[in-house]
Amino acid sequence: MNTIINTNFLPILISGILVGAVAGYLGSLMLSRRMTIVVDPLSHLALPGVALALLLGQDISLGAFLFLFMGMLLIWFLETRTGLPTETVIAILFSVSLAITFLFLSEEQIEKALLGDIAKIGFKQAIVIVSVCLIIFLILQKIYQKLVLINISEDLARAEGLRLKKYQLLYLLTIATMVALSVKYVGGLLVAGLTVLPAASARSLVRNLKMYQIFSFLLGACSALLGICLFKITNLAVGPLIIISGLFFFIISLIFKKIYEK
């Protein structure tokens, strides 16, 4: 289990909340049909990158980002150039990345890769994480509406003169960055939960896009806040605690929905 010194708690909490919030905001885009497909294999692709980083004693987010970036280009290439079904590509990439991870890592390292590693986050790192989050948030704000339009109808988006590939690539880049950051907090396997759970909760609660964005952002932040506080109290693994917190809000949102519909 991770044990952290008290002085590290604040940077972990603050950076964690921001990662949770921006991941939730990004997740609100991922819930749509065509975009969920990419998230899951991507987070698994992060695993071999994390493994390599652990072996070389480097930052796991850096390793994750490198592999995610290459993996994305690969998926993008395969999707646009070959007729191979995406599911097939995903299945292959997933099992291969897991195999590579398990082959080379020690047990302790595997735990870090799968569940996250926040022990090393100090003030300096937290500042980097917070800045990257803010940049990603700004980029997402710029492209959000365009991505929604592309998702509604590529024909309408093209007729508006949008260059679809540019936006899709930007979108994938923001995903890669957020997944790479999230890996520190929730590990390589649970990232999808960090992004999708807040958005899924938000969707049951609201009826328009603006509230959907706000709620996804806030619920992402709340899940991280609750998870990290629970971690402080229980000293259990922080990643699963954040995801369970996300699940907690999801269940509450479902209850609210039921009451509201009556």
Partner 1 sequence: MLENSVETILSVKNLEVVLNKEKIISNLSFELKQGETLTILGPNGAGKTVLLKTLLGFFPYQGEIKWRADVKIGYVPQRVPFVRDIPLSAEEFFELKTKKKEEIKEILKIIGFGTEILKKNINEISSGQYQRILIAWALLGEPDILLFDEPISGIDISGKETIYQFLDRLKKERGLTIILVTHDLSVVYKFADYVICLNKCPVCQGAPKEVLSPETISQLYGQEVKFYEHYHQH
Binding site for partner 1 (CB under 8 A): 28, 31-33, 145, 148-149, 151-153, 155-156, 158-160, 203, 206-212
- Nearest-approach distance from CB 147 to partner 1, in angstroms: 10
Backbone angles phi, psi at 88, to 5 degrees: -65, -45
* Spatial separation of the C-alpha atoms in residues 221 and 78, rounded to whole Å: 34
- Nearest-approach distance from CB 166 to partner 1, in angstroms: 16
Residue count (the chain): 262
Helix boundaries (H) for the chain: 9-30, 33-56, 60-81, 86-104, 107-115, 123-152, 154-159, 164-186, 191-205, 209-234, 238-261
- The tokens describing 191, both together, are 């990232």
- The tokens describing 83, both together, are 């007729």
* Spatial separation of the C-alpha atoms in residues 236 and 180, rounded to whole Å: 22
Pick the closer one to partner 1 by CB: 95 or 163: 163
Backbone angles phi, psi at 5, to 5 degrees: -75, 150
Tally Cβ neighbours within 10 Å of residue 191. Answer: 30
Backbone angles phi, psi at 180, to 5 degrees: -60, -40
- Nearest-approach distance from CB 35 to partner 1, in angstroms: 9
* Spatial separation of the C-alpha atoms in residues 67 and 43, rounded to whole Å: 10
Cα separations in angstroms, 198 against 57, 68, 145, 155, 259:
33, 22, 19, 29, 19
Pick the closer one to partner 1 by CB: 131 or 153: 153
Amino acid sitting at position 211? M
